[in-house]
Amino acid sequence: MGRIRGTILKQRPADVVTLLFLSFLFTLTIVFYDALPKALFLLGLYTVLLAVQVILIRFRNNGAFLGLFYDLIFPTLCVLLIFDSLEWLVHYVNPEDIDPMLIRLDYLIFRNHPTVLLERIMNPLLTDILQIAYSTYYFIPVSFGIVLLRNNQKSEFNKSLFMILFCFYLSYLGYILMPALGPRFYLDHLQTTGLQGLLVAEPLHDLLNRLEGIKRDAFPSGHTGIAVVVLCLAYQYKRDLFWIYLPVVSALLFSTVYLRYHYVVDVIAGFGLTLLTIVIGEWYYGWWLKNRGRS
């Protein structure tokens, strides 16, 4: 037990949380092997990602490019590849979608379906603007990391990377435990008009559909959780960037419902995801900082 604790304390928290989550997915794939149509592919993917993470921990200081790959490129690729793999995992591990419950909760709050109510304010320009805002989901955390690295704020970067990865992995765990397709699928028959943009809404929407596929990733809203976590980190470490992000994140949050990707309760749960990330993340990071010198 002491050896495990010592090993954990020697590693950057961002690396530990990635290794733990990949190990969890690997174990889950073995447990549900017979139910998964691409089980062998998933085992191979998670094994490769685990191996690359271990290799990078060992050789991260061997050159500037390897350091950049370790700090920024691999974490980004890891998040994207894990997310992509959920299409072949979530529904087969937990086939019961919770959309009916989420729809009822939204209806209890608004006495109607929010995506239907928002048809009253729909217009092509607004749809274009909100589709662009929604698409900034991955660019916001990556751009924040780049700024911290360029400013030589390495300790702030390491903590931010851990918090952002932790939030991503918590959201993925939420998709596995509480799969939901979202209103664009479940409530499509109730919408009286389609989402029409001027120039970019449809191409961006189609591109995201092709890239993301069907992941059952509505609850909790990872867009909300991640964006607000980055907003909190920017307020703490790069205040001028916070004011740039604030209107973009505000538009992103509204877009999740307007564009029919999420129920309102998904967004509320996304704020809960942010809170959970900050509370647990701050506790763990503080424990790691306090004890790493004793390992």
3-state secondary structure the chain: CHHHHHHHHHCCHHHHHHHHHHHHHHHHHHHCHHHCCCHHHHHHHHHHHHHHHHHHHHHCCCCHHHHHHHHHHHHHHHHHHHHHHHHHCHHHHCCCCCHHHHHHHHHHHHCCCHHHHHHHHCCHHHHHHHHHHHCCCCHHHHHHHHHHHHCCCHHHHHHHHHHHHHHHHHHHHHHHHCCECCHHHHCHHHCCCCCCCCCCHHHHHHHHHHHHCCCCECCCCHHHHHHHHHHHHHHHHCHHHHHHHHHHHHHHHHHHHHCCCCCHHHHHHHHHHHHHHHHHHHHHHHHHHHHHHHC
- As given in the structure block, the two tokens for residue 244 are 């740039």
| Helix 222-237 and helix 154-177, axial crossing angle in degrees, nearest 10 | 160
Nearest to 30 by CA among 9, 14, 16, 46: 46
- Whether the pLDDT of residue 6 is over 70: the answer is no
In tens, the pLDDT along 98-114 reads: 999 999 999 999 999 99
In tens, the pLDDT along 36-53 reads: 999 999 999 999 999 999
Q: What pLDDT sits at residue 199?
A: 81
Number of domains present in the structure of the chain: 1
Domain that holds residue 30: 2-294
Mean pLDDT value across residues 253-279: 97
Q: What pLDDT sits at residue 1?
A: 53
Nearest to 137 by CA among 82, 76, 197: 76
Using a cut of 0.75, tell me whether the model's pTM lies above it. Answer: yes
CA–CA gap between residue 34 and residue 191 (Å, rounded): 38
CA–CA gap between residue 222 and residue 238 (Å, rounded): 22
Mean pLDDT value across residues 124-142: 92
In tens, the pLDDT along 198-239 reads: 888 778 777 777 666 667 899 999 999 999 999 999 999 999
User: For the chain, what is the mean pLDDT?
Assistant: 92
CA distances from 135 to 34, 94, 107, 190, 261 (A): 36, 28, 27, 25, 12
Q: What pLDDT sits at residue 139?
A: 92
Q: What is the largest CA-CA distance in the chain?
A: 63
| Residue where the block lists tokens 């928002």 | 118
Q: Is the dihedral of CA 122, 128, 131, 133 positive or negative?
A: negative
Question: pLDDT tier at 133 (50, 70, 90 boundaries)?
Answer: very high
- Whether the pLDDT of residue 184 is over 60: the answer is yes
Q: Is 161 exposed, middle or buried (0-12, 13-18, 19+ CB in 10 A)?
A: buried
Q: What pLDDT sits at residue 295?
A: 47
Q: What pLDDT sits at residue 176?
A: 97
